[in-house]
């Protein structure tokens, strides 16, 4: 056979988590909490299993859950998505992203991606014959987007722009002005926006999440992608969703129905019941800001340089004053020798740009963050 992805290996998340396990290192690499989901939610999912939610769920998702999501958009963002026509439940954000790209990207279509970029975007574009047009975000500029630069990359072949705010791996967020710039640049085009908003409920320091759905012209061309796995501390449940205007969604479900058909049914019912209480997700920013501040306070005397993350549960640490080792090598060496695992930033840059920065996940218990900080302070 001829590989369709000849340059792709195993994801860095799998590699680093396996290495952490093998060497018994504190694992702040792959992004997942080391605490359990709320017992009440687990009870509601098992209750659904015991009350008949065990056969195929509707192909686009359980109506009750989609109605709850529509209500959330209305309350939080004052915008309407039709629960039956404009919302689909997916197997995590990962499947939403891969299906959106598969649905719309043809050979030689161009997709603008801001890098460092979450690792699934580029392979999915390439698998579908598209070309990634990268826009580099710079650590020296706090990863701010230069919209003039973006403007120079838009042309007749531009089919899609992928944005991600709050941003993995940098923890930066897009402002209202950023979104207005994107809207102005793409007005009167048919460029599809894939807006990866999986960290929408983890945004700090009084900042407000600027969902693409808040900007009417953008909304008319946007897929908003979200994940329950992030919000409810159960990354293994693989449940997410996407929202888009009905014509775009109709195309999406043509592919969705033949890639997964429907998603795990009892989990959809359990989450629909759980989300009746919005406090279950509205408190998340405060919760993670407290985690971030606890971690950063512990390492404030260390030799790492950092700017506090504005969102997500990731913190970048700049090690340039400690060593000039390549970040991928360093992440592995420190996992094996210092017993602390992180993710090297350069793997999110297709050009391999190495800014001497590592990403640490702070979705961890006090004790785990304390053990990590003790190691980092001794480096």
Residues found near ligand PMP in the complex (CB under 6 A)? 31, 92-94, 118, 164, 168, 196, 198, 227, 229, 235, 240
What are the C-alpha distances in Å from 51 to residues 47, 266, 268, 366? Answer: 6, 9, 13, 37
Written as six digits, the tokens of 291 are: 């985690």
Cα 353 from Cα 356, distance rounded (Å): 9
Of the pair 59, 139, the CB lying nearest ligand GLN is at 139
Q: Rounded to the nearest whole angstrom, what is the least distance from the CB of residue 240 to ligand PMP in the complex?
A: 4
Give the residue nearest to ligand PMP (CB).
92
Binding site for ligand GLN (CB under 6 A): 11, 13, 30-31, 168
Cα 235 from Cα 318, distance rounded (Å): 27
Q: Which residues of 180-208 are buried (b: 16+ CB within 10 A; e: fewer)?
A: ebbbebbeeeebbbbbbbbbbbbbbeeee
Cα 19 from Cα 259, distance rounded (Å): 32
Q: Rounded to the nearest whole angstrom, what is the least distance from the CB of residue 30 to ligand GLN in the complex?
A: 5
Partner from ligand GLN, ligand PMP, none contacting 163, C-beta within 5 to 8 A by type:
none
* Backbone angles phi and psi of 14, in degrees to 5: -70, -40
Q: Rounded to the nearest whole angstrom, what is the least distance from the CB of residue 169 to ligand GLN in the complex?
A: 7
Partner from ligand PMP, ligand GLN, none contacting 147, C-beta within 5 to 8 A by type:
none
Cα 165 from Cα 177, distance rounded (Å): 13
Q: Rounded to the nearest whole angstrom, what is the least distance from the CB of residue 311 to ligand PMP in the complex?
A: 11
Q: Dihedral of CA 321/326/327/331: which sign?
A: negative
Partner from ligand GLN, ligand PMP, none contacting 11, C-beta within 5 to 8 A by type:
ligand GLN
Give the residue nearest to ligand GLN (CB).
31
Q: Rounded to the nearest whole angstrom, what is the least distance from the CB of residue 11 to ligand GLN in the complex?
A: 6
Partner from ligand GLN, ligand PMP, none contacting 83, C-beta within 5 to 8 A by type:
none
Q: Rounded to the nearest whole angstrom, what is the least distance from the CB of residue 120 to ligand PMP in the complex?
A: 7
Partner from ligand PMP, ligand GLN, none contacting 30, C-beta within 5 to 8 A by type:
ligand GLN
Return the bridge partners of 88, or none: 242
Partner from ligand GLN, ligand PMP, none contacting 124, C-beta within 5 to 8 A by type:
none
Segment (H or E) for 192: strand 192-196
């Amino acid at each position: 056979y001829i590989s369709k992805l000849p340059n792709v290996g195993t994801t860095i998340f799998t590699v680093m988590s396996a290495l952490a396990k093998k060497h018994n290192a504190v694992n702040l690499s792959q992004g997942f909490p080391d605490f359990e989901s709320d017992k009440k939610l687990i009870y509601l999912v098992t209750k659904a299993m015991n009350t008949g939610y065990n056969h195929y769920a509707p192909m686009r998702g359980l109506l009750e859950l989609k109605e709850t999501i529509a209500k959330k958009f209305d309350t939080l963002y004052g915008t309407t998505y039709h629960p039956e026509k404009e919302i689909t439940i997916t197997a995590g954000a990962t499947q939403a992203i891969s299906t959106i790209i598969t649905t719309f990207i043809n050979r030689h279509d161009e997709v603008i991606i801001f890098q460092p970029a979450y690792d699934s975007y580029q392979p999915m574009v390439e698998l579908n014959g598209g070309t990634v047009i990268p826009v580099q975000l710079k650590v020296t500029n706090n990863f701010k987007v230069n919209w003039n630069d973006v403007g120079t990359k838009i042309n007749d072949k531009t089919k899609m722009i992928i944005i991600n705010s709050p941003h993995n791996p940098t923890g930066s967020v897009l402002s209202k002005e950023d979104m207005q710039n994107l809207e102005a640049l793409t007005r009167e085009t048919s460029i599809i926006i894939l807006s990866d908003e999986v960290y929408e409920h983890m945004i700090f320091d009084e900042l407000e999440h600027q969902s693409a759905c808040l900007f009417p012209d953008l909304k008319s061309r946007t897929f908003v992608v979200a994940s329950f796995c992030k919000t409810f501390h159960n990354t293994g449940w693989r449940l997410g969703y996407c929202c888009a205007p009905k014509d775009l969604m109709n195309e999406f479900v043509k592919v969705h129905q033949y890639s997964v058909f429907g998603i795990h049914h009892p989990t959809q019912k359990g989450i629909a019941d759980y989300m009746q209480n919005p406090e279950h997700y509205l408190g998340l920013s405060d919760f993670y800001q407290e985690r971030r501040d606890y971690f950063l306070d512990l390492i404030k005397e260390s030799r790492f340089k950092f700017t506090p993350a504005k969102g997500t549960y990731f913190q970048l640490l700049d090690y340039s004053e400690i060593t000039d080792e390549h970040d991928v090598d360093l992440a592995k060496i420190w996992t094996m020798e210092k017993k602390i695992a992180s993710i090297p930033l350069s793997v999110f840059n297709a050009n391999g740009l190495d800014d001497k920065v590592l990403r640490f996940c702070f979705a961890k218990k006090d004790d785990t963050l304390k053990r990590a900080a003790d190691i980092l302070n001794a480096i």
